[in-house]
Structure 1
Amino acid sequence: MEATNFSLRAYFERIGYRGPEATDRQTLTAIMRHQLRAVPFENLDVQAGKVVSLVPEDIVEKILDNGRGGYCYEVNGLFAMAVQALGVPYRMVGARPRTYASRRPKTHMALILTFEGERWLFDLGFGSHGIRAPLSLDRPDTDVVQDFDTYRLEKIGDDRYLLRTVVEGKWADQYEFDLSPQEWVDFVPANFLNSKHPDSIFVQHLVAVRQTDEGRIILLDNTFKIIARGQMESRSVAPHERDAVLLSEFGIIAPR
C-alpha cells in the first residue's frame, strides 16, 4: 500500500509517536495504539453524501494533512502504508461482520502482519468494539485482556477465524475472516456498499469513535458516550452541538 504523498515522519507526527522505527511486537503495538488514540474512526464523508475515496493519496491528504479520521479502509490503509515503509510483510483480508441480525457480505478490511515468526491480526478500523492491540493467529482460542476489554480469536476452520469480544458481560461475535489475500481494488465494491446502500450502518447513522487510555469515546448520532474502565456514561447532544463535540472530543471538523 503506497501513496506518493505519504511520509513516515508526517505519519508519526500526526499520531504523536516518537519511539523507535523498529519492527518488533512492542514497537508495532505502540504505533497501533498511538494511531487509535489520535485518528478517530468516523463516517462523516458518508453522512455528507459522498462515496469515500480509496485513492491512497486522498487518504493521506484527508488524515495526515486535514486532521480527519476515516473508516476501515482508510485507517487500516494508512497503517498499511506505515507498515510497508517500515518493511514489515503484511496482507489485507476481507472480513464478514457478525454484528448484524442477518448474514452480511465481507465488507470489512483488516490486516495480517508477519514478524518474529508469527502472524498477527492488526485492525484499527472496527469502531466501538475493535481490538486495542494485535492478536496472534498462531495462538488462537485464548482469552486476551487488552486494557479493560477482553477478546478472543477463535479458529473456526482451515485458515478461518472469528473475532469475539466481551460486551456487557457476554461474548459477542464481531467478524470472521480467512487468510485469502486481497488486493486494494477488491475493496472498491464493499466501499461503495458501505457509502451508499440504505442498509449500511454508515448511511443510517453518524459514527465517531476514538480510543483512550481507559476505554473509548463514541458519538452515535445525538448520543455521546464515554466508556472508561468498563463503565459507561452517556449524554444527549443536540444537532447544533455535534460539530462542537466532533472538534473538541475527536479533533475533527465536519465536512460540508
Structure 2
Amino acid sequence: MALRRVTVAAVLDRLGIEAPARDLDGLRAVYAAWCGAVPFDNTLKLIHLAEGRTWPLPGSSAERFFDSWLEHGTGGTCWSGNGALHDLLEALGFDVARAIATMLSSPGAVGPNHGSVIVTLEGERWIADASILSGTPIRIPSPGQEAEDGALPRFAWLEDQPAVVWCAPRAPDGFPCRIDRIGAEPAEWDALHQRTVDWGPFNHQLNARVLRDEITLAVALGQRFTFGPNGALSASELDRDGRVRFLVEEVGVSEVVARRVPDDRPSRRRG
C-alpha cells in the first residue's frame, strides 16, 4: 500500500530535508538523512515477542513503521526498516526494488535471511540498506567490472553475485551480505518477515545501530560499540540503566519504549 502524502511530508520534515530530485544527489540526500536519524533496532520486536502478542510484527507496514518512528524514535530490523525505506523512496518517485539477500555472518548461514533496497538511476543500480547504514548508497558495478577497494562497508562480488562487505559487533573484521535476487513482491517480503517470529537472530537480545556523522554507534552482546571511519573499534559494558541511557540519549528512542525492552535472554538456535 502506498504511503499517504501526509506521512511522507511528516517523514521528510523529521529527516530535515525537502522532497529530493529523482537523481543520485537526491538519493544520497535521503539516504544520508535516514542513516543519521532512523536506527536499525529490535526494541519493538523484543517487546512484541516478550509480551506474547499474536498480531503481525512491528513495522509490518511502512505506515506502522513511520508511526512508531515519529512518536518514539524507533526503527526496526531488516524487513521492517528496508520495507519502509523502499516505500518512502517509491513515494518520492525513485525507481526502487526490494532485494532478497543473505547475511553470511557465519559459515553455516542459510538464506534468505535479509531484505535490502536497490535503486536504479540512469541504468546504474545502487544499494541503499536500512540495516547496514553505509551513509551513502553503494554502487553495483556492471558485470565484469571489478569492485573498488576501500574501507568498510564496500561492494564486493561473490562469484557473480553482488554483495556488501560490512562490519558488525559480532564480526568486527567484516562479512558479506549477498544480494541473491532483486525484485520481490510485498506478500513474499511480509512472509519472510513474519516467519522470524519462530526464530530470528534479533529475537532474544537487544541490538541497535545508528550512524552519527562517520561514527557508527551500536549496542549488542550487552555492550556499547563504536566503529570509527578508519575501522577503529571500541567497546564498553552496559548495565540495565546504561542500556536505557544509550537508547534514549544516543539512539533517540523514547524512554517509554527503552524501559519496556526486556532483558537479554540466551539465543536459541534452530535445529
Query: How big is each residue's C-alpha offset from its partner over 1:213-251, in whole Å with a ceiling of 9 and x where there is no partner?
Result: 122001114211122233222221112332122100101
1:215 and 2:221 correspond: no
Alignment of 1:14-29 (within 5 A): 14-18=14-18, 21-29=20-28
Q: Secondary structure at the match of 1:7?
A: helix
Partners of 1:93 and 1:111 within 8 A in 2? yes
CA distance in 1, matches of 2:138, 2:23: 14
Alignment of 1:1-256 (within 5 A): 2-4=2-4, 7-18=7-18, 21-50=20-49, 51-126=57-132, 130-139=133-142, 141-143=146-148, 145=150, 149-154=152-157, 156-157=159-160, 160-165=161-166, 172-197=174-199, 200-229=200-229, 230-253=231-254, 254=257, 256=260
**TM-fit CA distance, 1:39:** 0.8
Q: Secondary structure at the match of 1:164?
A: strand
Residues 1:133 and 1:247: Cα distance change in structure 2 (over 3 Å): same
Q: Secondary structure at the match of 2:2?
A: coil
**TM-fit CA distance, 1:203:** 1.4
Partners of 2:7 and 2:63 within 8 A in 1? no
The residue type paired with residue 246 of structure 1 is L
**TM-fit CA distance, 1:150:** 4.6
Range moving further from structure 2, 43-52 or 170-179: 170-179
Range moving further from structure 2, 164-173 or 201-210: 164-173
CA distance in 2, matches of 1:247, 1:170: 24
Residues 1:171 and 1:235: Cα distance change in structure 2 (over 3 Å): closer
**TM-fit CA distance, 1:60:** 2.1
Partners of 1:93 and 1:110 within 8 A in 2? yes
Give the number of equivalent residue pairs: 246
Partners of 1:218 and 1:224 within 8 A in 2? yes
Specify every segment of 5 or more residues in structure 1 that has no aligned partner in the other structure, as ranges.
Answer: none
Partners of 1:195 and 1:202 within 8 A in 2? no
Partners of 2:217 and 2:226 within 8 A in 1? yes
CA distance in 1, matches of 2:249, 2:191: 34
CA distance in 2, matches of 1:166, 1:239: 25
Q: Secondary structure at the match of 2:164?
A: strand
Q: Secondary structure at the match of 1:57?
A: helix
**TM-fit CA distance, 1:170:** 9.2
CA distance in 2, matches of 1:205, 1:170: 18
Q: Secondary structure at the match of 2:88?
A: helix
**TM-fit CA distance, 1:40:** 0.7
The residue type paired with residue 228 of structure 2 is A
- Give TM-score, length-normalised by structure 1: 0.84
The residue type paired with residue 70 of structure 2 is L
CA distance in 2, matches of 1:144, 1:90: 26
Q: Secondary structure at the match of 2:159?
A: strand
CA distance in 1, matches of 2:227, 2:129: 20
Partners of 2:44 and 2:74 within 8 A in 1? no
Specify every segment of 5 or more residues in structure 2 that has no aligned partner in the other structure, as ranges.
Answer: 50-56, 261-271
Partners of 2:99 and 2:179 within 8 A in 1? yes
Task: Give me the CA root mean square deviation.
Answer: 2.7
- Give TM-score, length-normalised by structure 2: 0.80
Range moving further from structure 2, 220-229 or 201-210: 220-229
